[in-house]
Copies of this chain bind each other. A is one copy, B any other.
Amino acid sequence: MSDSSDSNLRRRKGRAPGACETEDDFFHYLDTFFDREHPSLELGRGDDCAVLNLPGKSCFTTDLFLEDVHFRTRYFTPGEIGHKGLAVNLSDLAGMGVKPTGFLLNLIVPGDDRLDAAFWDEFFAAMAKLANDAGAVLAGGDLSAGPNLGMAITAWGVPEQGSAILTRGPVSPGDIIFTVGEYGLARTGLMCMEAEGRDAEADFPAAVAAHCTPQPKLAAGLVLGRIAGESGGVTGLMDLSDGIARDLPRLLGFEHGAALDIPSDSLHEEIRRHAQETGEDPVEFAVVGGEDYALLGAASPSTITRLEQEVEGLRPIGEVVPGKGLTVNGKHFTRTGFDHFGR
């Protein structure tokens, strides 16, 4: 944080918010939209570093969110960009079963004039709403010019009292694999908008929303962390960001595979309709998925019933089997997963 600091001084100057071009503009927006205080924050924005007080274990994640790699200004609204840039980080915290407490924002602003005050108002308001709803304080950041709009956010969180931090394993054969939230729906939205832009929303509103405003599964993560802390049985959890085909092997580790049972009618209607229009297999499309920002986990057979009762949206989709490899509805699945814009 080679930042500036004196927000009151800048306010005294009466500079109207406009394009986000200087560090003064940047910190003006932060001070307008984001709280400065949090119980875990000893010293917030305006010094070389933020000073945190995080007794015990804490979880940290960082993600890039770049124009024309992770989003398009062509069909994302400013608010959706601000929301999703933070949401992808909070989703990693959900994948550990912990509660967000803070984040740092690096913002890259294109040098041209296409992003005006109205853009930044919407952008920061949406990011701040998500942050405040999640309980995460903006502790600092950095601003730079760059060729395209971009963000690099670092977010952190802590387990609730008595809760476990949930890692990607180890899982065992016989464990039940589950998801929380839709998979394949965000990719449906991406494909529709890459083809039709925002007009896709008329026919695929849920898919567009899944792609543009993913809702990190923080509440579900916390319930899973609490149950695991109380009685164990949750053998792995991660956030489903690159699609089941790519992320599930990361949950399973070297030694295990999975047999998934995914009836086509368990998928969202918009996925099935889109697959029908394009001639794709809807289940295969959904398993490739990508950017679902759902949760993917595993639990012992004796635990899964409790999870189904207590975690909203949790669905068993198969089980861990000995030996590597993935079958879906009895057939070997060999397609690799999602990579943003084909990278």
Query: From residue A290, how far is it (CB to closest CB) to chain B in Å?
Result: 10
Contact status of A51 and B57, CB under 8 A, knowing A69-B144, A146-B69, A154-B154: yes
Q: Write the A134-146 contact mask toward B (1 if CB under 8 angstroms, else 0).
A: 0000011111111
Which residues of B lie under 8 Å from residue A108 when comparing CB positions?
64, 66, 150
Q: Which of B46, B55, B95, B106 contacts A64 (CB 8 A)?
A: B106
For residue A304, CB closer than 8 A to chain B, the reply is no
Q: Which of A159-216 contact B (CB under 8 A)?
A: 165, 167-168
Separation of A169 and B157 alpha carbons in the complex (Å): 29
Flag if B253 contacts A66 (CB, 8 Å). no
Q: Which of B95, B104, B145 contacts A49 (CB 8 A)?
A: B95
Flag if B62 contacts A58 (CB, 8 Å). no
For residue A19, CB closer than 8 A to chain B, the reply is no
Separation of A140 and B150 alpha carbons in the complex (Å): 20
Q: Which of B2, B48, B54, B62 contacts A141 (CB 8 A)?
A: B62
Query: From residue A42, how far is it (CB to closest CB) to chain B in Å?
Result: 6
Q: Which of A47, A63, A238 has the most CB of B within 10 A?
A: A47
Flag if B106 contacts A63 (CB, 8 Å). yes
Q: Which of B22, B47, B95, B96 contacts A167 (CB 8 A)?
A: B47
Separation of A239 and B2 alpha carbons in the complex (Å): 8
Stretch of A4-12, A124-132, A263-271, A326-334 that contacts chain B: A4-12
Chain B, Cβ-Cβ closest to A111: B343
Contact status of A92 and B50, CB under 8 A, knowing A62-B140, A62-B142, A69-B146: no
Stoichiometry, as copies per complex, reads 2
Flag if B64 contacts A1 (CB, 8 Å). no
Q: Write the A23-66 contact mask toward B (1 if CB under 8 angstroms, else 0).
A: 00000000000000000001100111111111111111111101
Which residues of B lie under 8 Å from residue A287 when comparing CB positions?
none
Contact status of A2 and B92, CB under 8 A, knowing A62-B142, A144-B64: yes
Which residues of B lie under 8 Å from residue A4 when comparing CB positions?
250
Which residues of B lie under 8 Å from residue A144 when comparing CB positions?
64, 66, 69-70, 340, 343
Contact status of A168 and B63, CB under 8 A, knowing A47-B96, A48-B238: no
For residue A259, CB closer than 8 A to chain B, the reply is no
Separation of A231 and B48 alpha carbons in the complex (Å): 23
Which residues of B lie under 8 Å from residue A95 when comparing CB positions?
48-49
Show 23 residue pairs from A and B whose CB-CB distance is below 8 angstroms, ordered by the A residue.
Answer: A1-B62, A2-B88, A6-B250, A8-B254, A43-B167, A47-B96, A47-B167, A48-B61, A48-B96, A48-B239, A49-B59, A49-B61, A50-B59, A51-B96, A51-B165, A62-B142, A62-B154, A64-B146, A69-B145, A69-B146, A142-B152, A145-B343, A146-B150
